[in-house]
Amino acid sequence: MIATRRQIARAAGLVSVLFAISRLLGLLREIIIGAQFGTGATLDAYLAAFRLPDMIFYLVAGGALASAFIPTFTAALARSQDPRQLVAWKLASNVANLTLLITTCLAIAAAILAKPLVEHIIAPGFNETNVDLTVRLMRIMLIGPVIFGLSGLVMGILNSFQHFLSPALAPVIYNLVIIAAALFLAPTMGVTGLAIGVVAGSLGHLLVQVPALLRRKPRYFASFGLDSPDVREVLRLMGPRVLGLAAVQINFVITVNLASRLAEGSIAAVNYAWLMMLLPQGIIAQGIATAVFPTLSTLAAQQQIDTLRRTLNAALRAILWLTLPAAAGLLILRTSLIQVLLERGQFTAQSTQMTAYALAFFSFGLVAHSLLEVITRAFYALHDTWTPVKIGLVAMLINATLGILLLHPMAQGGLALANTIAVTVETLTLLWLIRPRINGLGGRQLVNTLGRSLAATLVMSAALLLFTARTATMPALATVVAGLVIGATVYGVLALALGREELKQLRRTS
């Protein structure tokens, strides 16, 4: 089904609000965890243990499944003449069965091989005590990807029906459960309580979506459907996407590997900085991308390329207009933000400085990371998962090479800078490559939006720098609140003067 721009915008607004709540809860989760564990060896072990379960989820059941399943499922719905939509539900059942089988097998294999993986690949810089702790935590958290696999599929089904509320609530529930574990289990069980919270949170992530799924009257088929053209299409689209996500996850493993060779707490510092950058990225980009993807898929299936191009152009311009000032504000106010959000308990002033140093370089990549969320989905809607994979592999090599080169001269800042350079190259290349696929990209409109937003952002940044220079002794909370008010006011006034076209577009997205 095709949504109008207003419907897409309302969906994007709803998803963005819930993503904002989820991200804020994620920050609250990190505040609580940081206060209890700081940036020490114990938290490094937890974060290292999280890498492999996270990789299994994303490779099999996360972005790879969604990018392959949604276009195929929406096409099955569009061509279905049966009011019960049995063809579409058979496809969903087959993919669910395959997902459960694959994630279970991978989780068991990873649990068996956990120790050598930690010792030689994930964290070779750890001592024996931290290796043992990491292995134990990893084996607990490997239950999560199996549950998340089914939950991710349910999200894809509901989004294909233009239902976004329950899927957007799922990460909120996930974070709430982990917060509860950090508050009530961690004080007595230590970091093991957090690992249990991750598994319980994944279960909550699934269960909150079940009522909405049942209202669609699904039918279940106990088969794998390997002879089905639709299942084969999902697998065909997933193959390249799995490789692409493998590159992303390998990047994370490389980052953890390199950071384990730095001062104690470097893994946690990079992780906190990454999460801080993901806050605006999730609120702005993921909300828009999640809402627009089913429509892009339907437009591509119906060969409405002109409408697809206009829809994609509008999404990219909205992201540019919102993420440029967000990146500048994050860069300028980063230390005060970290002090307000994280600096308490075991998270010391030194932890703040380590995190702020990495965040300075991550903030320059916010715009590229945000644009990438939408542009890759445009390729997936066109049933092209190979192009993003090829470019992603190049970006992985850039990130790994620069990470190694910049590790010692810049420590964790070098790892963040390597990521920013790699994702910028990746995003610009994909923007260039999609142009001939959709008869252009509306480049003049994009450049005009970029120019106006950049001009407004530079003025806003000057105002923020002047403010922070004259209020160096002001408490961090006051600096953050006043800085946000000043930045929003200056950018808002300039937006009224320079960005009338973009404001009209954003009003249509509300």
Separation between Cα atoms, residue 458 and residue 452, nearest integer Å: 10
Evaluate whether residue 490 is within a structural domain: no
> Please, which pLDDT band fits residue 143 given cuts at 50, 70 and 90?
very high
For residue 9, CA distances in Å to 386, 479, 481 come to 29, 33, 28
35 and 45 in a single domain? The answer is no
Out of 31-40, 110-119, 482-491, 501-510, which region has the weakest mean confidence (pLDDT)? Answer: 501-510
Q: 93 and 19, same structural domain?
A: no
How many domains does the chain divide into?
A: 2
The verdict on 284 and 183 lying in the same domain is no
Instruction: Dump pLDDT digits (tens) for 93-122.
Output: 999 999 899 889 989 999 999 999 888 888
Domain assignment present for 501: no
pLDDT in tens, 220-257: 999 998 999 999 988 888 877 777 777 776 777 788 78
- 3 falls within a domain: yes
Q: Is residue 248 part of a domain?
A: no
* Structural domain contains residue 164: yes
Q: What pLDDT was estimated at residue 62?
A: 58
Same domain, 163 and 72: yes
Asked if residue 101 and residue 26 are part of one domain, the reply reads no
- What are 366's two structure tokens? 């916010």
The pair of structure tokens assigned to 382 is 């066109």
Does residue 509 sit within a domain? no
Is there a single domain that holds both residue 233 and residue 86? yes
Instruction: Spell out a b/e string for 273-311, using b for 16 or more CB atoms within 10 Å of the CB, else e.
Output: bbbbbbbbbbbbbbbbbbbbbbbbbbbbbeeeeebbbbb
Shared-domain flag, residues 214 and 332: no
Among 45-59, 140-154, 319-333, 384-398, the least confident range? 45-59
5-19, 282-296, 345-359, range with greatest mean pLDDT: 345-359
Instruction: Please report the pLDDT score of residue 387 as a whole number.
Output: 92
Same domain, 63 and 86: yes
For the segment 249-275, the average pLDDT, to the nearest whole number, is: 81
User: Of 422, 444, 466, at which residue does a domain stop?
Assistant: 444
* pLDDT (0 to 100) of residue 481: 93
Asked if residues 446 and 317 have their Cβ atoms less than 8 Å apart, the reply is yes
pLDDT tens figures, 168-181: 899 899 999 999 99
The per-residue pLDDT for 509 is: 45
Pick from 26, 32, 29, 33: which is nearest to 191 by CA?
33
pLDDT of residue 85 exceeding 90, the answer is no
Residues 476-484: contacts with CB under 8 Å, at least 24 apart: 476/335, 476/336, 476/339, 476/340, 476/343, 477/336, 477/340, 479/333, 479/336, 480/333, 480/336, 480/337, 480/340, 483/329, 483/332, 483/333, 483/336, 484/329, 484/333
Is the pLDDT at 205 greater than 90, yes or no?
yes
- Around 136, how many Cα atoms within 13 Å sit in the side-chain half-sphere? 13
The rounded Cα 161 to chain-centroid distance in angstroms is: 22
Do 113 and 203 fall within a single domain?
yes
Instruction: Tell me the average pLDDT across 396-410.
Output: 91
Co-location of 275 and 400 in the same domain: yes
Instruction: Kindly state whether residues 84 and 35 are assigned to the same domain.
Output: no
Residue with tokens 């008869």: 439
Q: Which residue has the higher pLDDT, 91 or 37?
A: 91
Which two tokens mark 27? 């920050």
Residue 250 inside a domain? The answer is: no
Q: Mean pLDDT, the chain, as a whole number?
A: 86
- Helix ranges restricted to H, 266-341: 266-281, 287-301, 305-332, 334-341
Same domain, 165 and 69: yes
Does the pLDDT value for residue 13 go beyond 80? no
User: In 3D, which of 368, 257, 286 has the Cα closest to residue 66?
Assistant: 286
For the segment 262-273, the average pLDDT, to the nearest whole number, is 84
pLDDT at residue 94, as a whole number: 93
Q: Which domain holds residue 328?
A: 1-40+265-444
Confidence at residue 63, expressed as pLDDT on a 0 to 100 scale: 60
Does residue 496 sit within a domain?
no
Summarize the confidence of residues 38-45 as an average pLDDT. Answer: 78
CB 94 within 8 A of CB 222: no
